[in-house]
Amino acid sequence: MREFLKSTRFKILLAFLAFLVGIMIYAVTKGGYSVSGASFINTATKPFRKVSNKISMRFEHKIDKINNADKYYNENEELKKEIGILNSQLTEYEALKTEVEELRKFVSIKEEHEDYVLSVPCDVLGYVANDPFRSFTIDKGSADDIKPNCPVVTAEGLVGITIEVSEHVSTVRTILSPDLTIAAVCSSSNADYGIIEGSVMEAEKGYTKLSHLSLKNKLKPGDLMITTGTSGLFPKDYSIGKIKSIDYDTSGLSMCAEIEPCIDITRLTSVIVITDFSGKKEDD
């Protein structure tokens, strides 16, 4: 042993160890960067390591799959169940979110018009089959204090009127129908009056028609038309729709306008019925 410690071999080995320690200390001083030698080796071997790693990973995966097939199968089943539960929760959450949003809108109607007596929000059961004027049925009826000829609205604007009411279902005639006429006035000027009445041509586009306008009217596209409330069927100052275009009537004695309803009547999901309001015409 003493001979070894005194030998040149030991001194060389010691020197080499010192060199390695030196490299280590140098590497520490590089602040996270590789020393040039290590960097070179890494770069040179990178593609080989990549390929070999890929192969080995695949191989390991295969083996792992075979070894743990039962475990993964059970895990998969459990996850599937979990996904099912989460999906149903998500659906429920989405439905609740939509409902809350709808209710918020309806609360705003009540806040703006304190005299209104509103029904509970009604879901649209479905559109009347093959009706060009988009009549639809709602899931509330006389049991919810809804009567025939009650205005049907959303927070955005007027939708129509109830025409047939049974205990739990009502049919609504929309403002696209030529069978429904509403006195309307321009909200900005409060001077240009007309009659909103659906037409076959406009209903195809989801629009309605404003007719009997004076030739001297000052309406322009974009103007909002609101109810006048004079008939007692509809509350005063409720939005109906915006003017799309204005033209002369077929007779040339008056003007008419194309009205885009405030809400897309062809895609309704829920509405609210105004069962009473100040100025409502009482039934005989």
Partner 1 sequence: MRIKTTREQRILYFKTIFRWILYYVLIFVSFIVMTSGTWLKPVLLVPIALAIAINNNQYGSVVTGAICGFLIDIACGKLFGYNAVILAFFCIVVSLLFELYLRNKFVNYMLITAAVSYIQCRLDYRFYYKIWNYDNVERIFRKYTLRIWIYTVISAVFIYLVIKLINHFLMPKNHLTIEEVITTKTQQNQ
Q: Which chain residues interact with partner 1 by CB under 8 A? A: 125-132, 134-135, 137, 164, 171, 178-179, 199-201, 204, 266-267
Nearer to partner 1 by Cβ, of 171 and 227: the residue is 171
Identity of the residue, 163 or 233, whose beta carbon is nearer to partner 1 in the bound complex: 163
**Alpha carbon distance 275, 240 (integer Å):** 18
Please say which residue, 131 or 145, places its beta carbon nearer to partner 1. 131
Phi, psi values for residue 276, rounded to 5° = -155, 150
From the CB of 132, what's the least distance to partner 1, in Å?
5
CA pair distance 228, 258, nearest whole angstrom: 18
- Tell me the closest approach of the beta carbon of residue 47 to partner 1, in angstroms: 58
Q: Which is nearer to partner 1, 177 or 239 (CB)?
A: 177
Of the pair 185, 196, the CB lying nearest partner 1 is at: 196
Could you tell me the smallest distance in angstroms from the CB atom of residue 263 to partner 1?
A: 15
Residue 176 vs 243, nearer CB to partner 1? 176
Minimum CB separation of residue 209 from partner 1 in Å reads: 9
Residues 6+ apart with CB under 8 A from 213: 192, 193, 194, 219, 246, 254, 255, 256, 257
- The DSSP bridge partners found for residue 173 are 161
- Report the residue number, 103 or 128, with the smaller CB distance to partner 1: 128
Burial 121-154 (b: 16+ CB within 10 A, else e): bbebeebeeeeebbbbbbbbbeebebeeebbbbb
Q: Considering beta carbons, is residue 78 or 167 the nearer one to partner 1? A: 167
Q: How far is the CB of 122 from partner 1 (least distance, A)?
A: 16
Shortest Å distance, C-beta 173 to partner 1:
9
Instruction: Judge contact between 259 and 181, C-beta under 8 A.
Output: no
| Nearest distance in Å: CB 158, partner 1 | 20
Q: Measured from the CB of residue 175, what is the shortest distance to partner 1 in angstroms?
A: 15
